[in-house]
């Protein structure tokens, strides 16, 4: 199972991350032609777009996943009705997004306000709903190659366009917006050609309102839960803007946080690959406790894998910044980047609790995990950033991510449905200690880092072989 999980993750991940890795390698070219203010504009517009974008699906992806697992012969009929509803809702959503961007775009980008609005709004109206459904469809069908090929082509085109528009055409932050729009259009064409023509998953606009209302009753409580990811990942840039932190400092912070978001995006490959396995285990665990044990073992294996990878990246992050960032001021952001990178270790243990709650349709309690974490991060940022500066935002994000990952295990509803102990306190302690250790070792001599990396790699290899053997048993 672990080998199959990692093979699917590799398919999802390599195709998506090779272009992203190329984008990282392109930083020495791009960073010569952009300023911290450019990063600041991109951060603020991206924060608004992503924050509202979480609302666009209205949590209905949960209904899609559950209907696929529970109704294998008629889920397509459900999905097509939901698709039609989401496309109509997208018109209203696009208007909301456009007004928000008009009011929120920084004055430094005022001359490009309307261009930015249209480049962000049109994909939201025309492409996003289809992209979401197509990705979920191929993910649940365990057909990772379709997702991987699409990710690879779109990612490669966007990276090349970023280099062309920023380094050659000297377009600054506008290069990112034009490149992302063209990438979204291309991605829609690649998904739509197979999803509509081959699978015949055309949206149904004459949907049954009683089905939509029933779906929304279950799905809408997930929206605040999903919105918490915005509060954790992106809202800190908006808080810095509201607190009148200079735009270059926001850009500095944005670069540091982007390395955590790079890892978050890369880890989505593992999350995507694990979703069908979790659904299989949960559908059997009421009659077979061994399925619950396998779900836990998979979660532990992913958690150990995440810790090893983030520790090693954090250990070498200073050297990575020196190598990739051709800007002396931006190079100093590596310490903040370590903190936020290590925070994203929350994901596997978060999945261990949340996936069970969602499968059992306990969605109404998810706010106790996600919304509390997101709002807590927001409140702490407003309280601490004016006193301690942007460094406080990094530490509050780490603390909020840890709450996000482990608080689900304390819920009464979770304790009623789980069959095995996931040892959350142990894994939380390991994560915090790993942060303290890698932060203290970041400025160590390169020779020491080489020996430490080799030792960790050896132990991790032995651990993988042991875990794979145990999961086969």
Return per-residue pLDDT of the chain as tens, 473 residues: 545 555 545 555 455 555 555 556 666 777 777 777 787 788 788 878 877 887 888 888 878 877 777 777 778 888 888 888 889 998 999 999 999 999 888 888 888 899 999 999 999 998 888 888 888 888 777 777 777 788 788 888 888 898 888 888 888 888 889 998 999 999 898 888 888 888 888 888 888 888 888 888 877 877 776 677 666 766 677 778 778 777 777 777 777 777 777 777 667 767 767 777 777 777 665 556 777 788 888 888 889 989 999 999 999 888 888 877 766 767 777 888 899 899 988 889 998 888 888 777 777 788 788 888 888 888 898 888 888 888 888 899 899 999 989 998 998 888 888 888 889 999 999 999 999 999 999 888 888 889 988 888 888 777 766 666 655 55
Q: Beta-carbon neighbour count of residue 258 at 10 Å? A: 20
| pLDDT at residue number 288 | 64
Placement of tokens 């665990």 in the chain: 285
Contact yes or no for 75/68 (Cβ under 8 A): yes
Distance (Å, whole) CA 41 – CA 35: 10
**d(Cα 49, Cα 195) in Å, to the nearest integer?**
26
Per-residue confidence (pLDDT) for residue 152, from 0 to 100: 80
* Predicted pLDDT of residue 225: 66
* Residue among 1, 10, 138 at smallest CA distance from 79: 138
Say if CB 260 and CB 343 are below 8 A apart: yes
Question: Among 326, 275, 311, 260, which residue's Cα sits nearest to residue 456?
Answer: 311
> Dihedral (C-alpha) 265, 266, 269, 274: value to the nearest 10 degrees?
-90
pLDDT at 119: 93
Helices (H), 105-168: 113-126, 128-140, 144-162
Closest-CA residue to 45 (of 90, 137, 92, 112): 112
Show Cβ contacts of residue 313 under 8 Å, excluding neighbours closer than 6 positions: 259, 263, 320, 341
How far apart CA 379 and CA 256 sit, in angstroms, is 21
Return d(Cα 129, Cα 202) in angstroms, integer.
Answer: 12
Q: What is the pLDDT of residue 17?
A: 57
pLDDT of residue 158: 87
Contacts of 347 (CB under 8 A, 6+ apart): 264, 267, 271, 302, 306, 405
What dihedral angle (degrees, nearest 10) is formed by the CA atoms of 25, 28, 34, 35? 110
Torsion of CA 303, 350, 255, 184, to 10 degrees: 110
Closest-CA residue to 434 (of 316, 345, 349, 318): 345
What residues contact residue 450 under an 8 Å CB cut-off, 6+ apart? Answer: none
pLDDT at 185: 92
User: What is the phi/psi pair of residue 105, to 5°?
Assistant: -65, 130
Residues 395 and 193: their CA atoms lie apart, in Å, by: 44
Residues in the chain: 473
């Amino acid at each position: 199972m672990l080998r199959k999980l990692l093979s699917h993750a590799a398919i999802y991940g390599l195709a998506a991350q090779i272009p992203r890795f190329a984008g990282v390698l392109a930083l020495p070219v791009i960073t010569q032609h952009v300023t911290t203010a450019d990063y600041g504009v991109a951060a603020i517009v991206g924060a608004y777009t992503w924050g509202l974008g979480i609302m666009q699906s209205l949590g209905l992806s949960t209904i899609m996943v559950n209907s696929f697992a529970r109704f294998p012969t008629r889920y397509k009929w459900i999905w097509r009705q939901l698709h039609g509803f989401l496309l109509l809702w997208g018109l209203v959503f696009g208007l909301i997004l456009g007004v928000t961007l008009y009011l929120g775009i920084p004055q430094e980008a005022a001359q490009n306000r309307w261009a930015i609005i249209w480049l962000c709004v049109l994909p939201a109206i025309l492409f996003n709903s289809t992209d979401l459904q197509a990705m979920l469809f191929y993910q649940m069908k365990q057909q990772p190659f379709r997702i991987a090929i699409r990710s690879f082509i779109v990612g490669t085109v966007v990276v090349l366009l970023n280099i062309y528009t920023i380094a050659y055409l000297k377009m600054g932050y506008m290069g990112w917006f034009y490149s992302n729009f063209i990438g979204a259009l291309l991605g829609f064409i690649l998904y739509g050609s197979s999803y509509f023509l081959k699978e015949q998953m055309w949206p149904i606009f004459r949907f049954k309102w009683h089905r939509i209302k029933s779906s929304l009753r279950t799905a809408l409580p997930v929206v605040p839960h999903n919105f918490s990811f915005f509060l954790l990942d992106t809202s800190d840039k908006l808080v810095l803007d509201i607190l009148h932190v200079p735009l270059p400092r926001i850009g500095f912070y944005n670069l540091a946080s982007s390395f955590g978001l790079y890892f978050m995006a890369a880890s989505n490959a593992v999350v995507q690959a694990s979703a069908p396995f979790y659904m299989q285990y949960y559908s059997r665990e009421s009659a077979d406790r061994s399925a619950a044990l396998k779900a836990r073992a998979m979660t532990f294996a992913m958690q150990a894998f995440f810790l090893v990878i983030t520790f090693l990246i954090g250990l070498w992050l200073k050297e990575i910044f020196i190598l990739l960032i051709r800007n002396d001021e931006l190079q100093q952001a590596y310490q903040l980047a370590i903190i936020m990178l290590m925070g994203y270790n929350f994901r596997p243990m978060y999945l261990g609790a949340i996936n069970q709650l969602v499968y059992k349709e306990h969605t109404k309690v998810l706010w106790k995990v996600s919304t509390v974490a997101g709002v807590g991060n927001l409140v702490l940022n407003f309280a601490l950033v004016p006193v301690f500066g942007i460094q406080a935002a990094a530490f509050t994000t780490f603390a909020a991510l840890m709450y996000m990952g482990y608080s689900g295990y304390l819920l009464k509803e979770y304790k009623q449905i789980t069959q095995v102990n996931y040892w959350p306190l142990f894994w939380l302690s390991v994560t915090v200690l790993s942060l303290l250790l890698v932060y203290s070792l970041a400025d160590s001599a390169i020779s020491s880092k080489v020996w430490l990396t080799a030792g960790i790699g050896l132990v991790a290899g032995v651990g993988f072989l042991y875990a794979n053997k145990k999961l086969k048993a």
